[in-house]
Amino acid sequence: MLPIISVSAGTIVAVSGATIAGVAITLIILLVIILPNIKIVPQATTFIIERLGTYRTTWETGFHIKVPFIDRVAKKISLKEKVADFAPQAVITKDNVTMQIDTVLFYQIVDPKLYTYGIERPIVAIENLSATTLRNIIGDLELDQTLTSRDIINTRMREILDEATDPWGIKVNRVELNNIIPPKEIQAAMEKQMKAEREKREKILIAEGEKESAIRVAEGEKEAAILRAEAKKQAAIREAEGQAQAILAVQEATAKGLQMVKDVGADDGLIAIKGLEALEKVGQGASTKIIIPSDLQGIAGLTTTIKEIAKS
């Protein structure tokens, strides 16, 4: 016969409670193990993953899960462009002038693996490399060239640094000379030179202004003289034309008068009277002298003369 096993309700409840507690503990342990291995890589960022100390892969933007206790995130790298402002460096120009120059570097990580394993402390390496490159470039330039050739220096430094940082996974986008600080005595000499140059330009501008003013005044006087001469010429022409018209009018009036005398057939007495009236009008002038014949025969002769002129 089979043995009879009796299980009480309290025992079943105890077993069920232990099972649930075990499951819960197991789930908690799994969550504690799994959750830290769930990674979300944000935008413009990469994670370098190593497995047992060896490079495994590079995680890009998105959701990732790594193997617990085996894989680890070795480095988190931002792919955004960065700025490195380096301290001023002492450099010597070709004409033996010592000055301080500080540079600003704009760079970007383009290969996270090379950046992680290519070189130790890459930014320090770039700073030292930029200092030596700057000394080499400035050493081939004189002071004046250094002060006026920033674009050339920036371009040459960018090209040299970009080529040197390729094995480190870094791209140098731009290099700028932030400040060029020459010695104090050089600064004082430059300020004096600039002041003298400004004074020279001021004197030149004043002289050019006076010259321009004199030219304008002379041109104005010339134009005024031309206009005055032209006005006199026009006045003389108008006066001559007026005199000609006056003479013409007198001649026409005289001709008309003679024609009228001829047409009416005036006798000697009438002509003599009209002649005397004309002489009276002429005598009204202040500077007019009149000679009157002493006898009537003279008047008759004058009348005959006027009559003959009228007949002709």
DSSP string, 82-111: EEEEPPPEEEE-TTS-EEEEEEEEEEEES-
Is the per-residue pLDDT at 65 higher than 70?
A: yes
The distance from CA 120 to its chain's CA centroid, rounded to whole angstroms, is 47
The dihedrals phi and psi of 51, each to the nearest 5 degrees, come to -120, 115
Distance between CA atoms of residues 156 and 226, nearest Å: 65
- Tokens representing 233 are 């010429």
Distance between CA atoms of residues 277 and 79, nearest Å: 125
Q: Do 118 and 88 meet the contact criterion of CB atoms below 8 Å apart?
A: no
Greater pLDDT, 246 or 7: 246
Q: How confident is the model at residue 243 (pLDDT cuts 50, 70, 90)?
A: confident
Mean pLDDT to the nearest integer, 121-134 = 90
Residues 47-58 as b or e (16 or more Cβ within 10 Å = b):
bbbbeeeeebeb
Greater pLDDT, 191 or 224: 224
The pLDDT score that the predictor gives to residue 236 is 86
Q: Do 268 and 304 meet the contact criterion of CB atoms below 8 Å apart?
A: yes
Is the per-residue pLDDT at 1 higher than 50?
A: no
Lowest mean pLDDT among 1-10, 59-68, 249-258: 1-10
- Tokens representing 214 are 């004199």
The pLDDT score that the predictor gives to residue 170 is 93
| pLDDT (tens digit per residue) in 137-172 | 998 888 888 888 888 899 999 999 999 999 999 999
Say how many C-beta atoms besides its own lie within 10 A of residue 60's C-beta.
Answer: 13
The distance from CA 268 to its chain's CA centroid, rounded to whole angstroms, is 100
Mean pLDDT to the nearest integer, 250-254 = 77
